[in-house]
């Protein structure tokens, strides 16, 4: 096994194999999958979900869960675009700063409720999910915004290349995604704060006895997800070039399933960024492939659901269990 | 007036320490001292105040006014947990505060990660620090292995290593040997002596009196929150120590030899690859068969197959003269086999549920009234019967099981299984975490059950326990039965020598 693969966990290796197989199949079955235009489009589209995934991973590692982040991102979209239009458009730096700040504040609301009132995170975030979404629909009346600041409505293109099938572009969300993933990785793996998050998710009582500030860790985890969600929300506006109040509704479960598929444990203490990225990649590539194959969009969710079920039940531990059972049966048969 | 320290040599000295929780006097005027580098034992039954005393010393609880607490001759009353740690007082709790997903190195050196200010993780020096501490303990554990994959004994060593990183001068070990085999216990005792030689005092809390007498120089006995006294272990016997702890005396004698009846259960060549091999075993009604051997010898694995949880690969199980094939443990329960698991806390009981609900969970079909709903009258009748018969000390049957002491919890587990009216009762390590007085009570019940005609398979890694409570003893090693003892015709020393060889 090459050195670089040895440090990669079993779940991640398994996901890589599945992704490679699916990619090979799609390359052979369609002539559009393996084109620069399609792959770049896939990347541009997935950037938003990847930023969500990085944030959600932090909360899962810390032993919590959050259902509200996608609608929180919708709230951020509305507030940031409204504020930007008030101040005459602003620029991308101001936009990202505002989105991160408002997102962090919304995450902090979750942290405060969960930590100070000792409430269960899934219950709190189901409540704030409804609260955020309800407030958004109430105040906007469900009306979309199409008038965007200039820098946001013209896509910022970082790289472009003309191919036989059209222009292949990489846009701003991809760069932002890379930065957010790197920051999340650095925080989780290289900073003492990230290690304390892992410790809290792994054994909360042990963490408390060691003197880890559990309150601060809650604000860090949910705040980080809020920050990621806010920035992802803004990037989604950049991608879609409009603000639709229910555009991100339902995205939370899609991202959650992908992150868990990537090996993060509900209950805390375990999870890798690589796993989350691969889990999300598997889901996105499948959707993209089904689209290219001309499968009805109504069948998408069913097929994605099936793939997640199969991938999770085929994880390396289950495989080991299956082979162990077969071995025993062979021994029994050989003896009788 | 606090008495002056007679020799002026105490590392820690307490006097007049009391602690009240609501109406309960948990500690009453305790005096306690620890000398540098000594190994002291804190003995007493569950609920006698040992844990409260440790918590006072580690700053978790504050004693009532008037207490004297000195460290190196300096006053330390009003201690907080972080101050206690800074002084070098470390507690290794029974439910270790480790992080199972993290590596051994990170667990040991986790203190470096603490603090709210963002800082880079220095893996290299963490590993170096962990390696140095493990070397100091003289043990070899792979540094990058997740702690969750270590044996319980090795986890304990990691917890001890973490305490050493924090420059401990006084280490409390709360029942460190409760789930260790004899060999692991011996290794731990060697470590304790090593710490002691490095000038670190160790206070050892244990139920195993033999161990206490072997490794400690002095023993402090508490009973009902009061100090009974501190005694040198030289010249102390287990019987005397038990008497001090319980305030009552017990005498031990092996059971008289009996003539076995026709077997209820008979195993012939039972094998499950990698777990146990070629097991021949019979148990008759009214007989108590002891099964002993070190942890990992295959005892529990065999029990799980007898209870239908796993399927043997070869051999036969005869039940009342008929071959028995079980697909799952519901078959076993239907045949009249009951299994009281080793891991009472997580597998045997639903801790937050009531005593009554825990008792009837195995026989829900027998407490149904009309319309197939649970009849409260039948349920409480059944619960009352069993709780009385087993002499469980409880407040209300509706109290949560988690409010009971270890011994009483074990009785509730027994009640739950006896309610199924079993013919064979498998008891797997029934006294783990149960104190001396309550142990005798449990074995009195077991004896009574055998008299009523129940066949009992008693699994334990404590040789005295099987020696004094079983009619026959089977010794298991590496998945095979290697010897049989009859207590009436052999001695405890012979058995212990065989098991620990």
CA dihedral A205, A206, A210, A215 (to 10 degrees): -40
ipTM metric:
0.84
Q: Rounded distance, CA B36 to CA B34, Å? A: 7
- Answer yes or no: do B102 and A199 touch at CB < 8 A: yes
The answer to whether the beta carbons of residues B12 and B202 sit under 8 Å apart is no
Task: pLDDT band for A136, please (50, 70, 90 cuts).
Answer: very high
The answer to whether the beta carbons of residues B362 and B417 sit under 8 Å apart is yes
Task: pLDDT band for B82, please (50, 70, 90 cuts).
Answer: confident
Q: Which two tokens stand for residue B322?
A: 């008929």
Closest CA to B407 of B365, B444, B452, B360: B444
Q: CA triplet A47, A48, A50: central angle to 5 degrees?
A: 65
Q: Give me the residue label for tokens 């000195």.
A: B70
Indicate whether B5 pLDDT > 60: no
Provide CATH 3.40.50.300 ranges for chain B: 265-500
The answer to whether the beta carbons of residues B391 and B441 sit under 8 Å apart is yes
Whole-number average pLDDT of chain B? 83
CA dihedral B303, B304, B307, B311 (to 10 degrees): -120
Q: Return the pLDDT at B294.
A: 74
Identity of the residue in A202, A203, A210 whose CB atom sits nearest the CB atom of B114: A210
Task: pLDDT band for B475, please (50, 70, 90 cuts).
Answer: very high
Least-confidence region, from A222-236, B215-229, B368-382: B368-382
Q: Which two tokens stand for residue A178?
A: 């890379």
Mean pLDDT of B251-264: 75
Please give, rounded to a whole number of angstroms, the shortest distance from the CA of A20 to a CA of chain B: 29
Task: pLDDT band for A319, please (50, 70, 90 cuts).
Answer: low
Asked if B268 has any chain A CB less than 8 Å from its own CB, the reply is no
Mean pLDDT of A299-303: 83
The answer to whether the beta carbons of residues B27 and B225 sit under 8 Å apart is yes
Q: Return the pLDDT at A113.
A: 96
Identity of the residue in A192, A210, A332 whose CB atom sits nearest the CB atom of B313: A332
Q: Rounded distance, CA A12 to CA A261, Å? A: 10
SS3 of A109-129: HHHHHHHHCCCCHHHHHHHHH
The answer to whether the beta carbons of residues B100 and A63 sit under 8 Å apart is no
Task: pLDDT band for A27, please (50, 70, 90 cuts).
Answer: very high
Q: Return the pLDDT at B3.
A: 44
Asked if B82 has any chain A CB less than 8 Å from its own CB, the reply is yes
Mean pLDDT of B105-132: 90
- The residues spanned by each domain of chain A are 3-317
Mean pLDDT of B106-129: 90
Q: Domain A3-317 belongs to what topology? A: ABC transporter involved in vitamin B12 uptake, BtuC (1.10.3470)
User: Which residues touch B317 (CB under 8 Å, ≥6 apart)?
Assistant: B265, B266, B267, B270, B306, B323, B324, B325, B326
Indicate whether A318 pLDDT > 60: no
Q: Return the pLDDT at A334.
A: 62
In percent, how much of chain A has pLDDT > 70?
Answer: 90
CA atoms within 13 A on the CB side of B135: 6
Q: Return the pLDDT at B344.
A: 61
Per-residue pLDDT tens for A63-83?
A: 999 999 999 999 999 999 999
Chain B, 292 to 331: residues with Cβ < 8 Å from chain A are: 313-314
Asked if B197 has any chain A CB less than 8 Å from its own CB, the reply is no
Q: Rounded distance, CA B63 to CA B52, Å? A: 10
Mean pLDDT of A122-147: 93
Q: Which two tokens stand for residue B340?
A: 């009281």
Mean pLDDT of B390-394: 69
Q: Rounded distance, CA B193 to CA B211, Å? A: 13
Indicate whether B14 pLDDT > 80: yes
Asked if A330 has any chain B CB less than 8 Å from its own CB, the reply is no
The answer to whether the beta carbons of residues B92 and B171 sit under 8 Å apart is yes
- Answer yes or no: do B106 and A212 touch at CB < 8 A: no
Indicate whether B404 pLDDT > 80: no
Strands B74-75 and B68-71: antiparallel
Indicate whether B302 pLDDT > 60: yes
Per-residue pLDDT tens for B155-175?
A: 888 988 888 888 889 999 988
Q: Return the pLDDT at B383.
A: 80
* b (16+ CB within 10 A) / e for A122-136: eebbeebbeebbeeb
Least-confidence region, from A113-117, B36-40, B89-93, B342-346: B342-346
Closest CA to B58 of B163, B215, B209: B163
Q: Rounded distance, CA B384 to CA B373, Å? A: 20
- Answer yes or no: do A199 and B113 touch at CB < 8 A: yes
Asked if A333 has any chain B CB less than 8 Å from its own CB, the reply is no
The answer to whether the beta carbons of residues A236 and A77 sit under 8 Å apart is yes
- Interface test with chain B among A196, A197, A199, by most B beta carbons within 10 Å: A199
Chain B, 202 to 261: residues with Cβ < 8 Å from chain A are: none
Dmax of chain A from CA atoms? 84
Burial class (CB in 10 A: 0-12, 13-18, 19+), B19: buried
Q: Rounded distance, CA B398 to CA B228, Å? A: 35
CA dihedral A154, A155, A158, A164 (to 10 degrees): -110
Strands B314-319 and B265-272: antiparallel
From start to end of B184-287, where are the E strands? 201-205, 218-223, 226-232, 265-272, 276-283
- Interface test with chain B among A189, A195, A211, A335, by most B beta carbons within 10 Å: A195
Please give, rounded to a whole number of angstroms, the shortest distance from the CA of A30 to a CA of chain B: 43
Indicate whether B473 pLDDT > 80: yes
More confident position, B256 or A58: A58
Least-confidence region, from A98-102, A198-202, B20-24, B302-306: B20-24
Q: Return the pLDDT at B398.
A: 78
Alpha-carbon distance values, B173 to B176, B203, B332, B361 (Å): 6, 6, 40, 36
In percent, how much of chain B has pLDDT > 70?
Answer: 89
Please give, rounded to a whole number of angstroms, the shortest distance from the CA of A212 to a CA of chain B: 7
| Domain at B265-500: CATH code | 3.40.50.300
* b (16+ CB within 10 A) / e for B252-267: eebbeeeeeeebbbbb
Q: How far is CA A123 from the centre of its chain?
A: 20
Give backbone dihedrals phi and psi of B8, rounded to 5 degrees, phi first: 70, 30
- Interface test with chain A among B86, B116, B162, by most A beta carbons within 10 Å: B116
Asked if A213 has any chain B CB less than 8 Å from its own CB, the reply is yes
Indicate whether A323 pLDDT > 70: no
Q: CA triplet B265, B270, B272: central angle to 5 degrees?
A: 135
Task: Name the strand (E) or helix (H) holding A293.
Answer: none
- Answer yes or no: do B96 and A328 touch at CB < 8 A: no
Task: Name the strand (E) or helix (H) holding A97.
Answer: helix A92-116
Closest CA to A96 of A109, A82, A108, A80: A80
Please give, rounded to a whole number of angstroms, the shortest distance from the CA of B304 to a CA of chain A: 17
Indicate whether B440 pLDDT > 90: no
- Answer yes or no: do B110 and A269 touch at CB < 8 A: no
Q: How many CB pairs under 8 A join A and B?
A: 72
Chain A, 265 to 284: residues with Cβ < 8 Å from chain B are: 269-270
Q: Rounded distance, CA A139 to CA B360, Å? A: 54
Q: Return the pLDDT at B2.
A: 41
What is the DSSP annotation of B283-326? E-TT-EEEEE--TTSSHHHHHHHHTTSS--SEEEEEETTEE---
Per-residue pLDDT tens for A222-272?
A: 999 999 999 999 999 999 999 999 999 989 988 998 998 888 888 888 899
Identity of the residue in A194, A203, A269 whose CB atom sits nearest the CB atom of B97: A203
The answer to whether the beta carbons of residues B30 and B55 sit under 8 Å apart is no
Q: Which two tokens stand for residue B239?
A: 């019987």
Q: Return the pLDDT at B93.
A: 79
Q: Which two tokens stand for residue B249?
A: 């005396």
More confident position, A129 or B176: A129
The number of residues making up chain B comes to 501
Task: Name the strand (E) or helix (H) holding B17.
Answer: strand B12-21
Alpha-carbon distance values, A22 to A29, A188, A288 (Å): 10, 30, 11
Mean pLDDT of B336-362: 75
Q: CA triplet B6, B10, B11: central angle to 5 degrees?
A: 165
Q: Which two tokens stand for residue A328?
A: 């025993």
Indicate whether A32 pLDDT > 60: yes
- Answer yes or no: do A196 and B101 touch at CB < 8 A: no
Task: Name the strand (E) or helix (H) holding A330.
Answer: helix A316-335
Q: Rounded distance, CA B357 to CA B359, Å? A: 5
Closest residue of chain B to A213, computed from CA coordinates: B116
Mean pLDDT of B3-9: 53
Mean pLDDT of A308-333: 64
Per-residue pLDDT tens for A164-212?
A: 878 888 999 999 999 999 999 999 999 999 999 999 999 998 888 787 8
> Which residues in chain A are closer than 8 Å to B93, comparing Cβ atoms?
209
- Three-state DSSP state, B395: coil
Q: How far apart are the first and last CA of chain A?
A: 39
Closest CA to A73 of A46, A94, A104: A104
């Amino acid at each position: 096994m090459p050195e670089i693969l040895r440090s990669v966990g079993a779940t991640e290796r398994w996901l890589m194999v599945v992704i490679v197989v699916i990619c090979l199949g799609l390359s052979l079955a369609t002539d559009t999958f393996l084109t620069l235009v399609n792959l770049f489009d896939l990347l541009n589209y997935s950037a938003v979900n990847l930023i969500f995934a990085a944030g959600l991973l932090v909360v899962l590692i810390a032993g919590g869960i959050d259902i509200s982040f996608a609608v929180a991102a919708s709230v951020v979209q509305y507030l940031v675009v409204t504020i930007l239009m008030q101040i005459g458009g602003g620029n991308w730096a101001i936009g990202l700063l505002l989105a991160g700040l408002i997102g962090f504040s919304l995450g902090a609301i979750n942290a405060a409720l969960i930590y100070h009132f000792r409430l269960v995170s899934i219950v709190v975030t189901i409540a704030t999910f409804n609260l955020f979404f309800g407030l958004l629909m109430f105040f906007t009346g469900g009306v979309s915004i199409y008038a965007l600041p200039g820098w946001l409505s013209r896509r910022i293109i970082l790289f472009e290349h003309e191919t036989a099938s059209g222009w292949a572009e990489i846009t701003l969300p991809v760069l932002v995604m890379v930065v957010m993933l790197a920051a999340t990785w650095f925080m989780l793996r290289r900073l003492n704060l990230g290690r304390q998050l892992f410790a809290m998710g792994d054994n909360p009582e042990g963490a408390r006895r060691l003197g880890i500030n559990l309150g601060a860790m809650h604000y860090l985890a949910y705040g980080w997800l809020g920050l990621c969600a806010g920035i992802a929300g803004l990037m989604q506006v950049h991608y879609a070039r409009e603000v639709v109040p229910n555009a991100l509704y339902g995205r939370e479960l899609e991202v959650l399933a992908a992150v868990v598929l990537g090996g993060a444990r509900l209950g805390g203490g375990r999870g890798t960024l690589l796993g989350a990225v691969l889990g999300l990649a598997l889901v996105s590539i499948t959707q993209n492939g089904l689209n290219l194959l001309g499968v009805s969009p109504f069948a998408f969710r069913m097929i994605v659901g099936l793939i997640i079920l199969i991938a999770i039940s085929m994880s390396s531990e289950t495989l080991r269990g299956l082979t162990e059972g077969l071995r025993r049966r062979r021994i029994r048969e050989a003896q009788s | 007036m606090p008495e002056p320290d007679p020799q002026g040599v105490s590392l820690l000295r307490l006097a007049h320490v009391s602690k009240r929780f609501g109406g309960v006097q948990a500690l009453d005027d305790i005096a306690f001292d620890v000398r540098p580098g000594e190994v002291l034992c804190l003995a007493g039954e569950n609920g006698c105040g040992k844990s409260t005393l440790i918590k006072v010393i580690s700053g978790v609880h504050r004693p009532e006014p008037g207490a004297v607490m000195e460290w190196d001759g300096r006053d330390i009353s009003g201690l907080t947990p972080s101050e206690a740690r800074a002084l070098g007082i470390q507690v290794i709790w029974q439910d270790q505060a480790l992080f199972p997903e993290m590596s051994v190195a990170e667990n040991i050196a986790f203190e470096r990660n603490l603090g709210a200010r963002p800082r880079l993780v220095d893996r290299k020096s963490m590993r170096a620090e962990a390696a140095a501490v493990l070397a100091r303990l003289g043990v070899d554990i792979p540094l990058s292995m997740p702690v969750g994959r270590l044996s319980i004994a090795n986890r304990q060593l990691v917890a001890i290593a973490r305490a050493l990183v924090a420059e401990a001068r006084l280490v409390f070990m709360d029942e460190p040997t409760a789930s260790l085999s004899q060999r692991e216990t011996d290794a731990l005792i060697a470590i304790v002596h090593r710490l002691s030689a490095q000038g670190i005092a160790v206070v050892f809390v244990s139920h195993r009196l033999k161990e206490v007498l072997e490794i400690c120089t002095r023993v402090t006995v508490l009973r009902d929150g009061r100090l009974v006294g501190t005694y040198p272990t030289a010249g102390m016997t287990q019987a005397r120590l038990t008497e001090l702890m319980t305030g009552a005396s017990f005498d031990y004698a092996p059971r008289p030899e009996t003539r076995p009846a026709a077997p209820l259960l008979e195993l012939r060549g039972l094998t499950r690859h990698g777990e146990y091999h070629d097991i021949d075993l019979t148990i008759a009604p009214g007989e108590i068969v002891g099964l002993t051997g070190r942890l990992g010898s295959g005892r529990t694995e065999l029990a799980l197959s007898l209870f239908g949880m796993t399927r043997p690969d070869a051999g036969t199980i005869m039940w009342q003269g008929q071959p028995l094939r079980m697909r799952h443990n519901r078959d076993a329960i239907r045949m009249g086999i009951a299994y009281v698991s080793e891991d009472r806390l997580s597998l045997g009981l639903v801790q937050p549920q009531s005593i009554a609900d825990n008792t009837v969970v195995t026989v829900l079909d027998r407490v149904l009234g009309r319309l197939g709903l649970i009849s409260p009258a039948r349920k409480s009748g059944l619960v009352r019967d069993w709780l009385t018969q087993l002499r469980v000390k409880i407040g209300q049957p509706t109290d949560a099981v988690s409010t009971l002491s270890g011994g009483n919890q074990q009785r509730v587990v027994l009640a739950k299984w006896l309610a199924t009216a079993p013919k064979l009762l498998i008891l797997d390590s029934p006294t783990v975490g149960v104190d001396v007085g309550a142990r005798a009570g449990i074995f009195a019940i077991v004896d009574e059950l055998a008299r009523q005609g129940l066949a009992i398979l008693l699994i334990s890694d404590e040789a005295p326990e099987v020696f004094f409570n079983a009619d026959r003893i089977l010794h298991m090693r590496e998945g095979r039965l290697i010897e049989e003892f009859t207590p009436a015709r052999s001695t405890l020393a012979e058995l212990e020598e065989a098991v620990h060889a």
